[in-house]
Amino acid sequence: MRVWEGAGVRESLWERGGLAWFRPRCRTDCGACSVQGTRPFSLTAARAVLGLGSWGGDSGKQKLTLQDVAELIRKKECRRVVVMAGAGISTPSGIPDFRSPGSGLYSNLEQYSIPYPEAIFELAYFFINPKPFFTLAKELYPGNYRPNYAHYFLRLLHDKGLLLRVYTQNIDGLERVAGIPPDRLVEAHGTFATATCTVCRRKFPGEDFRGDVMADKVPHCRVCTGIVKPDIVFFGEELPQRFFLHLTDFPMADLLFVIGTSLEVEPFASLAGAVRNSVPRVLINRDLVGPFAWQQRYNDIAQLEDVVTGVKKLVELLDWNEEMQTLIQKEKEKLDAKDK
Ligand SMILES: [Zn+2]
């Protein structure tokens, strides 16, 4: 796995809100990287070079289609599905970008005159002024937003015993809310579901501090009074231990979905290349990204449209429409009852 100049985590944190002014740079300057930010090369140009008709590297082999993938799933020939999910999977749930002027969250954060937006995720700044981070936490704390069709598709994969793991870059916790059990999840950039005291390192359920966070209070440890920080990965902090499950998950996967991510974030992005060569990789995203643009394989499928439309197409091909509707309705009723 390549190491990127600067904090890879920083880049990843930025992607959460769709900001792309930090670009990772390959330390080895190998020229073979798939990091788009290092190449002033447009998507249109890329597609022209690749040729839409001759998609895929191995010209002798027949191009795989979404229909073929649906068949593989239906016949249970793929039953160790790994999913990589990014911000695009949460956009349909209305998760706000805290750097978008005009959003309520942006104006709530404006009052703090943050020196630069990424300071929210810097420990040094957090210890001086934790309030901006907790303003964001209040917005994203479990309960404010609801999963959408794409999250429930992952849940259905799990219910059918086909899901090996979801790797998500999102910190909104919507995969959990959708009912995907935590042991099927790798929340690569952390979670609000748990929290750690910054002084004594005691672990707490995130739920213990809901009252404080909702009342705009900085939560403190009941043992040592230190500030308690939700387990969101800050710049310079290590990725969660669970992230290393990728070492066994990806070689074992028999199908990879890459949904709603720009794959610009390391080390997350490189995972797409860690599945075996014979494994179909399906990108559902607005744009062609990462290895789908630069190191494509003959069994890559790119469904270039918005996430929900793309997933709906697949569900249609799988003939899972009815099951999806039943699941979504059942979960909606559960969440409605909780909200009461
Ligand atoms: Zn403590």
Positions at the binding site for Zn(2+): 197, 200, 221, 224
Condensed to tens digits (0 to 9), the pLDDT of residues 31-83 reads: 333 333 333 333 333 333 333 433 444 445 678 999 999 999 999 999 999 99
Q: What is the CA(282)–ligand 1 centre distance, in A?
A: 44
Q: What is the pLDDT of residue 61?
A: 63
Q: What is the pLDDT of residue 60?
A: 53
**Closest to 275 (Cα-Cα) out of 302, 260, 257, 262:** 257
Q: Which two tokens stand for residue 120?
A: 């929210």
Q: What is the pLDDT of residue 37?
A: 32
CA–CA separation, 182 and 82 (whole Å): 15
Condensed to tens digits (0 to 9), the pLDDT of residues 114-147 reads: 888 889 999 999 999 999 999 999 998 888 899 9
State yes or no: pLDDT of 170 exceeds 60. yes
Domains 63-93+147-189+240-339 and 96-144+191-232 share a fold: no
Tell me the CATH class for 63-93+147-189+240-339: alpha beta
State yes or no: pLDDT of 23 exceeds 90. no
Q: What is the pLDDT of residue 316?
A: 98
Condensed to tens digits (0 to 9), the pLDDT of residues 297-309 reads: 999 999 999 999 9
Q: What is the CA(79)–ligand 1 centre distance, in A?
A: 43
Positions at the binding site for NAD(+): 87-91, 97-99, 169-172, 261-262, 285-287
Sign of CA dihedral 67, 70, 74, 76: positive
The pLDDT-based confidence of 182 (bands split at 50, 70, 90) is: very high
Higher pLDDT, 36 or 148: 148
Q: What is the CA(127)–ligand 1 centre distance, in A?
A: 14
Q: Checking DSSP bridges between strand 190-197 and strand 203-205, what pairing results, if any?
A: antiparallel
Higher pLDDT, 340 or 188: 188
**Which entry of 158, 189, 220, 246 is annotated as an active-site residue?**
189
Tell me the CATH class for 96-144+191-232: alpha beta
Q: Could you give the residue ranges of the DSSP H alpha helices within the chain?
A: 8-15, 43-50, 66-74, 104-110, 123-128, 131-140, 149-159, 174-177, 210-214, 246-252, 291-294, 307-318, 321-339
Q: What is the pLDDT of residue 54?
A: 37
The DSSP string of 246-281 is HHHHHHH-SEEEEES----STTTGGGGGGS-TTS-E
CB atoms near residue 23 (< 10 Å) = 16
Q: Checking DSSP bridges between strand 81-85 and strand 163-168, what pairing results, if any?
A: parallel
Q: What is the CA(118)–ligand 1 centre distance, in A?
A: 26
Q: What is the CA(237)–ligand 1 centre distance, in A?
A: 19
Angle between helix axes 149-159 and 321-339 (nearest 10 degrees) is: 110
State yes or no: pLDDT of 99 exceeds 90. no
State yes or no: pLDDT of 11 exceeds 80. no
Condensed to tens digits (0 to 9), the pLDDT of residues 234-281 reads: 998 999 999 999 999 999 999 999 999 989 888 888 999 999 999 999
* Cβ-based neighbours of 121, under 8 Å, separated by 6 or more: 10, 13, 133, 232, 234, 235
Q: What is the CA(142)–ligand 1 centre distance, in A?
A: 23
Q: What is the pLDDT of residue 204?
A: 97
- For the full predicted model, state whether its pTM sits above 0.75: yes
Q: What is the CA(229)–ligand 1 centre distance, in A?
A: 10
Domain residue ranges in the chain: 63-93+147-189+240-339, 96-144+191-232
Q: What is the pLDDT of residue 209?
A: 95
Condensed to tens digits (0 to 9), the pLDDT of residues 193-227 reads: 999 999 999 999 999 999 999 999 999 999 999 99
158 flagged as catalytic = no
Positions at the binding site: 87-91, 97-99, 169-172, 197, 200, 221, 224, 261-262, 285-287
